[in-house]
Amino acid sequence: MDREPASARSRIQDRQCNGSPRHDIELAVELAVENRDRQRGCHPRGQVPVPAVARQDEPSTVPSQSQASSGRGGALAPTRSARPFAGWRHVALMALVSVCVTLAAGACGSTGERSAGQARDSTSTPDASGPKGSAQAIGTVSGTITVSAATSLADVFPKIGQDFKAANPAVSEVRFNFDSSGTLAKQILGGAPADSFASADTESMDRVRDANELAGDPAVFARNKLTIVVKKGNPTHIKSLADLAGSATVSLCGSDVPCGRYADKILRSAGVTIPPERITRGHNVKAALGAVANGDADAGIVYVTDVSGDQVEAVPIPDADNEVATYSIAVLSSAANRSAAQAFVDYVLSPAGQAKLAGAGFLPVEAGPSR
């Protein structure tokens, strides 16, 4: 007995198992025809003869069995109309399209997965060469500012000003007005032009704040201590605060100047009394120091940070008797260049500014209470 031909479905399965290409178009068409025949209740192809495919616009020319067996000629009568064949051709075409779409979707899916994977790989790690954030904006301010600052800052503030300009190239000039904090407070309250104020005591700063002349709260940026200062080599042999009572002349700051108020408090606390006629007072700390350096006084009391050079030297005051001066800074409400003034204040408070102050002998903010 002749073996029945395998169906299209079984041949496709055989090809898939043997690793043959899945996109066999011929088998796909045959499979579509078999599916159509099953839906109509017909036998699978190969068991019952299937008429040849006729063109959609003309009838079939397949002869009948009687004509074929008798060998008689004549016109060939159509055995099946063109419309039913058009239906299974449509099914076959749809099957072909379905196979192509499935293959294309598989290929696109693989490509899409690769593309998505590449996209995830490219965004999972930030670009190390990108811009990095900075805690301090550089070059964002410009113009000129005027800083009114205590005289004891006259050596270090110009250095901080140079660094500030280097960090802000558009700032054309940082001007300084150095004097005693009390004198500066009077100037500011009198309308003297300034953008920021750096005081060596809280009292002078409070006077300016109480007059509503500050643009914001002042910030403490440094502290300082006081010391006895004598001529180089200490020719009068001053060893302690008590020895000042026997000195011919003692140089102190004015009683309305922070360093003068600190000195008066230190002497009172130590129980040392110096006759007023033997006291000379300078209008700021540089003037009080100059009297000793020039030989006009045997000794004096100034800030530790002011004692330098080859003309004078320091005799330390014990911490138990000493005073801690507190330095604060703020932007003035009348500032002509408020943004640059604030930038300068921020720079003084920054690690770079604090390092400059520490190098000049100033104490950190945590060194003691406000005075």
Given a contact cutoff of 8 angstroms between Cβ atoms, the answer to whether 253 and 259 are in contact is yes
Q: Per-residue confidence at 302, pLDDT binned at 50, 70, 90?
A: very high
Q: Where are the domains of the chain?
A: 1-54, 143-367
For residue 342, is pLDDT > 80?
yes
Distance CA 222, CA 50 (A): 106
Q: Residue ranges of the alpha helices (H) in the chain?
A: 8-17, 25-40, 65-70, 82-124, 157-167, 181-189, 202-210, 258-270, 285-293, 338-349, 351-359
Residues 6+ apart with CB under 8 A from 246: none
80 or 343, higher pLDDT: 343
Q: What dotted CATH number matches 143-367? A: 3.40.190.290
Closest C-alpha among 300, 329, 164 to residue 241: 300
At residue 60, the pLDDT reads 44
Average pLDDT over residues 176-191: 97
Tens of pLDDT, residues 85-135: 444 454 444 545 454 434 444 444 444 444 434 433 333 333 333 333 333
Distance CA 324, CA 364 (A): 11
pTM: 0.63
46 or 268, higher pLDDT: 268
Q: 118-122, 175-179, 220-224 — which is least confidently predicted?
A: 118-122
10 Å CB burial of residue 176 (0-12, 13-18, 19+) is middle
Tens of pLDDT, residues 225-269: 999 999 999 999 999 999 999 999 999 999 999 999 999 999 999
Phi and psi for 113 in degrees, rounded to 5?
-65, -40
